[in-house]
Amino acid sequence: MKRFVSMLLFMSVFFTLFATVGHAAEVIPKLYLNGKLLQSEVNPQIIDNATVVPVRTVSEGLGYQITWDNAAKTATVNHGNDVIKLKLNDNIALVNDQMVQMDTTASIIKGTTLVPLRFIGEQFGLGFEWKATEKEVHMYEQPTVPAETTGWITQISYDGGSSLTINYDGVVKANKPLLLENPKRVVFDFPATAYSSDLNAQFLNGQVQFEVTDSTYLDGFRYSLFSNSPATARLVILIGDNTGYVMTEDLGKIHLSFMSLTDVPVDPNASIDPPVVIEPENPPAASDVFDVVIDPGHGGSDPGAKSVLNMWEKEFNLAVSLKMKTLLEKESKIKVHLTRTGDTYPSLAERVKFAESLKADLFLSIHSNSAASASIMGAETYYYRDNSKSLAAIIHKHLIAGTGTKDRGVKKEAYKVIKETTMPAVLVEAGFLSSASDAKMLFDDASQNRIASELVAGIKEYLNVK
């Protein structure tokens, strides 16, 4: 549990002065944590010359878990591996089963448990500032890094779909993750781990927060230094219903891939799922002209994954899509539409709306993959709805012929653009940008021409266009 011994003399003087002023003037201060006003039905109070604060408000503001046992009249705060127990009308708290005396007893006002601010500061490792003019108490976390730190997280990156990658220096290992509700989230704690100075500089109010709007499985994530002593980095990932994940590790990298619970491999160490065996269905009925939507993934502000050749996924996706457009424009029975023709970023919802507004006959999204290990390579094809199974089987056959890379099979996945469209829709991952051999193939002009030609052949085969 974090302690700031060097601050104790200052804090004693600080709280003595503050309590005296508050008692005489009946000041009810406002309470801030890391610059954010903490909202509570009960404001901080001054009881027996001690400032008391709502423990739930402070705990939840720091991301700690707190529970109330009505029978025992006890509040329990869980902070990493540390446990604090506070009993109503008792001035003795249990901190990891050790008795700690507080300035005054824990009390309840309007159903809210209040405990001394000095105790909160010492046990939660917070610094303080009293702003007399504004009548405000400011609490803030102090990101010092203790000597026992063995690893530093240098980057946490989101691939724009359903994966996160954690880059680090030193030794970084995750504890067993916690799955929490309301909101549904998975919490990873990394003991003996801090953040690099570059990442620390990005923290706002003690954390970095990222909202995800266009993913089937992810709603957002945030990370912070959960504890300084011992050093513990925390990553909280907001997830959708029926969401599972696979974690893979490589030297200096941890990769988290989120997917439907039904698609999580039985063996969590398996890097490749077995291919889905699909029997082709009957092709669609003949039409005068078919509307085909080609979706070059990512683009603009969303570059996608970076290749080992220092080129971006969005570049490959667009290059192959434009080559397909040129070939499809030669077909009198096919009218081709691209969701983007330049380096722009239409949202996933806009891509779905675009295809639906055309009442398209077919939707094909072009992507390339990335993994934590450079040894993983190959091409995959994804579908979600049953009306897309036969299209996936045909497109994948031609994708393997065009790329010449390892066949990783056809898989079911709830990617937004193939889940929320209503026409037959598939998404291809033409290879791994993290693999030197795949990346070289993907950014080779002759290979791109071959991939485009094969995918067009697959479209024509499915639509029965001669």
Residue 248 belongs to a domain with what CATH number?
Answer: 2.60.40.3500
Supply angle C-alpha 231, 234, 236, rounded to 5: 175
Consecutive H or E run containing 321: helix 313-328
Judge whether residue 381 has pLDDT over 90.
Answer: yes
The residues facing 46 across adjacent strands are 51
- 169 lies in the same domain as 302: no
The dihedral sign for the CA sequence 345, 347, 352, 353: negative
Band (265; pLDDT cuts 50, 70, 90): confident
Band (409; pLDDT cuts 50, 70, 90): very high
Two tokens, residue 256: 């988290």
Place of tokens 């359903």: 162
Number of domains in the chain: 3
Two tokens, residue 151: 């690893």
Task: Give per-residue pLDDT as tens, 23-59.
Answer: 333 445 677 777 777 777 777 776 766 667 777 776 6
The residues facing 51 across adjacent strands are 46
Task: Give per-residue pLDDT as tens, 74-121.
Answer: 878 776 667 888 788 888 878 777 777 777 777 777 777 777 766 766
d(CA 288, CA 310): 44
389 belongs to a structural domain: yes
Last residue of a domain, one of 107, 141, 175: 141
Judge whether residue 455 has pLDDT over 60.
Answer: yes
271 belongs to a structural domain: no
Averaged pLDDT of the chain = 80
Give the CATH number of the domain where residue 17 resides.
3.30.457.10
Average pLDDT over residues 266-273: 44
Residues 6+ apart with CB under 8 A from 238: 183, 184, 185, 212, 218, 219, 220, 221
Judge whether residue 295 has pLDDT over 90.
Answer: yes
Band (395; pLDDT cuts 50, 70, 90): very high
pLDDT of residue 8: 36
Crossing angle of helices 8-25 and 117-124, rounded to 10° = 160
For residue 158, give its domain range: 151-263
Last residue of a domain, one of 88, 106, 141: 141
Determine whether 47 is exposed, middle or buried from the number of CB atoms within 10 Å of its CB (0-12, 13-18, 19+). middle
* Residue type, position 236, single letter: V
Give the residue among 123, 107, 131, 110 at the shortest CA–CA distance from 50: 107
Among 88-97, 301-310, 363-372, 419-428, the minimum mean pLDDT is found in 88-97
- 14 lies in the same domain as 123: yes
d(CA 85, CA 94): 5
Determine whether 72 is exposed, middle or buried from the number of CB atoms within 10 Å of its CB (0-12, 13-18, 19+). exposed
Last residue of a domain, one of 106, 141, 176: 141
146 belongs to a structural domain: no
pLDDT of residue 18: 41
Answer for the pair 76, 84: CB distance below 8 angstroms, yes or no.
yes
- 178 lies in the same domain as 239: yes
- 128 lies in the same domain as 13: yes
Judge whether residue 337 has pLDDT over 60.
Answer: yes
Judge whether residue 440 has pLDDT over 70.
Answer: yes
Judge whether residue 20 has pLDDT over 50.
Answer: no
Is residue 429 flagged as an active site residue? yes
Which residue has better confidence, 187 or 266?
187
323 belongs to a structural domain: yes
d(CA 248, CA 253): 8
Band (231; pLDDT cuts 50, 70, 90): confident
d(CA 62, CA 124): 9
Average pLDDT over residues 128-151: 65
- 137 lies in the same domain as 19: yes
d(CA 191, CA 224): 13
428 belongs to a structural domain: yes
Q: Assess whether the previous peptide bond of 191 is cis (omega < 30° from 0).
A: no
Active-site residue, from 148, 429, 454, 461: 429
Report H helices in 90-156.
117-124
Among 86-90, 221-225, 276-280, 388-392, the minimum mean pLDDT is found in 276-280
276 belongs to a structural domain: no
Crossing angle of helices 445-463 and 389-403, rounded to 10° = 150
Among 138-152, 217-231, 287-301, the minimum mean pLDDT is found in 138-152
Answer for the pair 256, 249: CB distance below 8 angstroms, yes or no.
no
Integer angstrom CA distances of residue 374 from 62, 285, 402, 434, 455: 38, 43, 21, 5, 26
DSSP summary character for residue 339: S
78 belongs to a structural domain: yes
- 337 lies in the same domain as 377: yes
pLDDT of residue 229: 61
- 84 lies in the same domain as 233: no
The dihedral sign for the CA sequence 357, 358, 364, 365: negative
- 332 lies in the same domain as 362: yes
Average pLDDT over residues 205-221: 85
Residues of the chain with pLDDT > 70, as a percent, come to 78
Give the CATH number of the domain where residue 447 resides.
3.40.630.40
Q: Find the length of the chain.
A: 466
Determine whether 112 is exposed, middle or buried from the number of CB atoms within 10 Å of its CB (0-12, 13-18, 19+). middle
179 belongs to a structural domain: yes
Task: Give per-residue pLDDT as tens, 151-183.
Answer: 899 999 998 888 999 999 888 888 888 887 778
- 233 lies in the same domain as 306: no
- 427 lies in the same domain as 309: yes
Longest alpha-carbon distance in the chain? 92
Answer for the pair 139, 152: CB distance below 8 angstroms, yes or no.
no
pLDDT of residue 105: 78
- 456 lies in the same domain as 321: yes
- 129 lies in the same domain as 179: no
